[in-house]
Amino acid sequence: MTLIIELPHVGESVVEGTIGKWLKVPGDHVDRYDPLVEIVTDKVTMEFPSPVSGTLLSILAQEGETIPMGAPIAEFETSDDAPTVNDSEPEPPSAASVTAPISTIGYLVKNVAPVGPTGGGPDGEPIISDAQPAAVSSKNVPTQKPKVKPGTAPRLSPAVRRLAEEHNIDLAIINGSGVGGRITRDDVLSHLSSSEQPTTPQDSQRSTTDDTYITVTPIRRMIAEAMVRSVTTIPHAWSTIEVDVTNLVTVRNTHRQAVLDREGVDLTYLPFIIKMVVEALRDNPTLNATWGGDKIILKNRINMGIAVAGPDGLIVPVIKNADQKSIIGLANAVGDLTSKVRNKKLSIDDVQEGTFTLNNTGVLGSTTSQPIINHPQAAILTTEAIQKRPVVIQDAIAIRSMMNMCMSFDHRINDGAESSAFLQSIKRRIEAITENTPIY
């Protein structure tokens, strides 16, 4: 029996994905749950395991190709029963059939040495994921990719449309190389490259001799597109404030070893600051918001995104309902998410629904920064390096531990008065930390 493997659905807000790397080649025998392909989305990178056992006949979506969720990506020969529906359809799939309703049942596994983050059940057993990764259709499929009928316009992904609009490209003159003749982002980029003025042999030689070219990975491209989308759609404004964290340093040092012995987690400064930020967000709700065109949408939940440098680039896992957690609860949440990032074990749920982002750039030695807002949020805050400085206190000079906090905010939603009130609210809370501040 021949089956079509479809691109997994991984969440309501994710409408397309990029084929990062095929882990099998046509002709390979693949056991069920063996890692099959690396999928890259604007949220997270994950390995998609094979939902059936059998032989991989052909690959329908090439590496680097961006396609909508539910599109066919591979053909399998298998004796397994298809785990999803569509068994009753006798006709082979056409280019238009990609848009038909499909099942979204699938599997994510862990402990398979992933290239990107993945989710899974205990002991590496597969689970039915809320991210809803894959669909498999049981059909008689053609041995070649379906062709687009004359006069039928191939579907375009949002990424392709954006790229075409940015460069004013007539897509009708581009031949698509994707599934069913779809125009992929690589097709558009190739067209742009061919449209540029050719270089002379001397120019080509200088490029080869003087410059080193690094191929942009799908993850790096996703990060780049997210940054461009943020700075081109959100009018950024910036504000910086200096905070005396002497008491915070003392309290953290007092509790650190006891928390490590009891909780098994290193108590850093970050959970204290997160606690003060979420309390300030409750008093300043327009910083926990998004722009809705003709309205400002205030978020009732406070889901704190924490920017973390992962092996493949920056990623922002989210602490859900952060305002309901204690300082120790936040410390455990930060430790858990950071471990998932570094071990590439994040699930889609770990990176969705953030309402505000905090970036601890101080661990990198930064003292002042102008961060880019995590679209479509209203603001992002950085905590900078803690430094001992001479400070004037009641006409006397004292040596205190000081830290800068820098915030970028959406000037459509907030003005300087609101942003300053928010920063001052955080500052008061941090400077009021004492030995009596509850951490549990």
CA–centroid distance for 100 within its chain: 27
Q: Are 384 and 402 in contact (CB under 8 A)?
A: no
Residue 280 has pLDDT above 90, yes or no: yes
Tokens of 225: 């597109």
One-letter amino acid identity for 102?
I
One-letter amino acid identity for 268?
T
What gap in Å lies between CA 371 and CA 156, rounded to an integer? 32
At 180 the pLDDT is 65
Residue 7 has pLDDT above 60, yes or no: yes
Catalytic-role residue among 28, 87, 203, 415: 415
From 13-22, 194-203, 325-334, 350-359, the region with the lowest mean pLDDT:
194-203
Tokens of 49: 């395991």
Place of tokens 């309290």: 251
Report CA Rg, the chain: 25
**What pLDDT, in 10s, does the model give residues 61-98?**
888 888 888 889 999 988 876 554 333 333 444 433 44
Q: What angle (nearest 5°) sits at the alpha carbon of residue 118, between those of residues 112 and 122?
A: 70
Strand ranges for 227-378 from DSSP E: 236-244, 289-291, 296-298, 304-306, 308-310, 313-315, 318-319, 356-359
What value does the mean pLDDT take over residues 287-307? 96
Task: Quote the DSSP letter at residue 264.
Answer: S
Closest CA to 81 of 150, 1, 15: 1
What structural domains and CATH numbers belong to the chain? 2-138 (2.40.50.100), 158-194 (4.10.320.10), 231-431 (3.30.559.10)
What gap in Å lies between CA 112 and CA 18, rounded to an integer? 20
From 35-49, 142-156, 230-244, 384-398, the region with the lowest mean pLDDT:
142-156
At 205 the pLDDT is 41
Known active-site residue 349: no
Q: Which residues contact 414 (CB under 8 A, 6 or more apart)?
A: 286, 287, 378, 379, 422
Query: Nearest 5°: phi and psi at 267?
Result: -80, 105
Q: Grade residue 203 by pLDDT with cuts at 50, 70 and 90.
A: very low
Coil, strand or helix: which one is 265?
A: coil
- Work out the number of other CB atoms within 10 angstroms of the CB of residue 151: 5
Q: Does an H or E element contain 36, and which?
A: strand 35-40
% of the chain beyond a pLDDT of 90: 45
What gap in Å lies between CA 202 and CA 194, rounded to an integer? 19
Counting beta carbons within 10 angstroms of the beta carbon of residue 130, is it exposed (0 to 12), middle (13 to 18) or buried (19 or more)? middle
Q: Which residues pair with 256 in a beta bridge?
A: none
Known active-site residue 415: yes
Beta-sheet pairing, 356-359 with 304-306: parallel
What's the mean pLDDT when you consider all of the chain? 79
What gap in Å lies between CA 93 and CA 2, rounded to an integer? 12
